[in-house]
Amino acid sequence: MYNVTFDFSDFHRHGRAFYDFLALRKCFFVDELGWDIPHDGHVEMDQYDTPQARYSVVVLDGAVIGGARTMPTTAKWGKNGYMLGDAVAGLLPGIPRDILHEAPCSAQIWECTRLVMSHSVTNRDDRARCLALIVEGLARAAHHGGAERLISLSPLTLERALRQLGWDTVRIGEPYLNTGDGRRYAVLSMSATKPLVQTSVAA
Q: What is the 3-state secondary structure (H, E, C) of 131-192?
A: HHHHHHHHHHHHHHCCCCEEEEEEEHHHHHHHHHCCCCCEECCCCEEECCCCEEEEEEEEEC
In this predicted structure, what is the pLDDT of residue 202? 40
pLDDT band, very low/low/confident/very high, at 196 (cuts 50, 70, 90): low
153 CB-side CA count, 13 A: 24
CB 131 within 8 A of CB 92: no
Of 165, 135, 161, the C-alpha closest to 70 is 135
Mean pLDDT, rounded, of the chain: 93
pLDDT band, very low/low/confident/very high, at 173 (cuts 50, 70, 90): confident
Q: Is the pLDDT of residue 200 over 50?
A: no
Measure the CA–CA gap between 90 and 98, rounded to whole angstroms.
9
Q: Other CB atoms closer than 10 Å to residue 191's CB: what's the count?
A: 17
In this predicted structure, what is the pLDDT of residue 198? 53
Highest average pLDDT, of 18-22, 121-125, 178-182, 195-199, comes from 18-22
Q: Is the pLDDT of residue 123 over 80?
A: yes
Q: What is the pLDDT of residues 58-84, one digit of tens each?
A: 999 999 999 999 999 999 999 999 999
Mean pLDDT of 175-192: 93
Alpha helical stretches, state H, 8-147: 17-25, 83-88, 124-144
Q: Is the pLDDT of residue 30 over 90?
A: yes
pLDDT band, very low/low/confident/very high, at 143 (cuts 50, 70, 90): very high
Question: For the domain with range 2-191, which CATH number is right: 3.40.640.10, 3.40.50.720, 3.40.630.30, 3.40.50.1260?
Answer: 3.40.630.30
